[in-house]
Amino acid sequence: MPIVKTVQDGVAIVTLNRPEAMNSIDPESNEQLLAIWDQVSSDEEIRVVVLTGAGERAFCTGADLKKTMPPADSAARQVFRAGTRHSNFGTLQTDKPVIAAINGYALGGGLELALLADIRICSENAQFGLPEVRVGSIPGAGGTQRLIRAVGQSDAMWMLLTGDRIDANEALRIGLVSKVVPLSALQQTAINLARAMAANAPLAMTAAKRLAMTGRELPLAGGLELERQAFGVLRDSEDRLEGRRAFADKRAPVFRGR
């Protein structure tokens, strides 16, 4: 299977499983990734997603050019035909927190895939790059939009316009990743973080993510108003009451997403 999904303790681990091809995305793995993303988004038992690659060399090196043929449809038909849903991983969205555990190369579409995550952790051997301008193209799965939001204008434009690669330490410096760890510790570090997050109230995490992602596009006053409304919506939820009871009883809360 080009994509493997396992679930334990509220954490879904989604693994790109083509190490022989540097975990590049071919049509089959693209379709499977879209389907798995729908599953993890709708499954209430899953509270956090960890996205990673198989092996030690690469998280993902983007599209598998050997297997990706030009589409039969025109660009206009792809974009505007009735019933069109997302067709590539660049359009994926979920309210669940997503952690990218980046082992090795994250290049082209691989970096764009990592940019879908809310939190990125990488191994010491990781390398990042968007080399598309070097072959007469552009990052077409969200790279031009998400990178500049993740790291700021100057560093993003450097990567976009030169196609240069950066290493793990530089990725940490510019804020592309939150932490750099030894390769041997990467998976467990991501899983430990995911489990800690999965123990939190799921409705509150969803609200916090939606507010943060929506609010960054709004003036501060508009974002604060959304926050005020969300706080009121959550105020009488079962989970908020459970959180307060657990605090008073000096025990761990049991959240049910209600």
Catalytic residue, chosen from 20, 28, 44, 112, is 112
CB 60 within 8 A of CB 102: no
Alpha-carbon radius of gyration of the chain: 19
**Whether the Cβ atoms of residue 201 and residue 230 lie closer than 8 Å to each other:** no
Query: What gap in Å lies between CA 63 and CA 110, rounded to an integer?
Result: 8
Q: What is the DSSP letter of 11?
A: E
Whether 44 is catalytic is no
Using DSSP, state whether 251 is helix, strand or coil: coil
Pick the catalytic residue from 56, 132, 225, 242: 132
> Residue 181 in contact with residue 192, Cβ under 8 Å?
no
DSSP string of 110-121?
A: HHHHHTTSSEEE
C-alpha–C-alpha distance, residues 19 and 242, integer Å: 44
Helix (H, G, I), strand (E, B) or coil at 61: coil
- For residue 28, indicate whether it is catalytic: no
3-class DSSP assignment, residue 15: strand
Residue 222 burial (CB count, 10 A):
12
On the 0-12 / 13-18 / 19+ scale of CB atoms within 10 A, 87 is middle
- Count of CB atoms situated within 10 Å of the CB of 100: 27
β-bridge pairing 105-107 and 127-129: parallel
Catalytic residue positions? 112, 132
